[in-house]
Chains A and B, each alone.
Chain A
């Protein structure tokens, strides 16, 4: 069963704009990870944030984690057409399997 739920399900923006995707989950976690997927095939790891961290940055990506609200957000700044993909959050609890949400489909128009 899936735990994370991404919001929105789909997002369409213009190149240069920022894109924000949210993820909510239900149980306590050890860490939360964001992945990107092109064309329904292999997933690419973007960022891992541990439960004792609140914010992490990687290039144009910024991830926040609020364990009290059981939610996370992924911000992509200055988006590019090449950022068009599906983005998934995945939660991991110690000793348990990684649970993915259904994803946000991001379209960046040139």
Chain B
């Protein structure tokens, strides 16, 4: 596809369950980012991948959150033992190059996670 895609678009789960959110970046983009956006707020940085490696995971709120990008393309954000406070829209973005250069990030439509 032409843009960043994310699946599922909506996810409803129960407190304590495990969820996986998927991101397909634009083909050829080396950098991939995950953000979390709560209602009425701007996106908050979670993690940045350059290729296959997590170059910066300083935004992950705690060890229940983990993300992988095993082949340097698709990424999965994993949340264990979900809590109601995890409810938010999770946004993925990709860019052609990483943070060493100023370049535009292209965002996906997001996954709206609701933890009941």
Which A residues have a C-beta under 8 Å from some C-beta of B? 1-2, 4, 30-31, 33, 35, 40-45, 48, 50, 88, 90, 92, 94-103
Contacts and interface: CB of A to CB of B under 8 A. Distances in A.
A92 B42 contact: no
A9 to B, nearest CB: 9
Contacts of A96: 99
B59 interface: yes
Contacts of B40: 102
Interface stretch (B14-22, B77-85, B101-109): B101-109
Contacts, number: 67
A96 B103 CA distance: 13
Given A2-B42, A42-B91, A50-B102, A97 B37 contact: no
Interface residues on B, range: 20 to 34
Nearest to B9: A41
Contact of A100 (B43, B102, B103, B106): B43
B21 to A, nearest CB: 14
A98 B45 contact: yes
B10 to A, nearest CB: 11
A50 B101 CA distance: 11
B41 A102 contact: yes
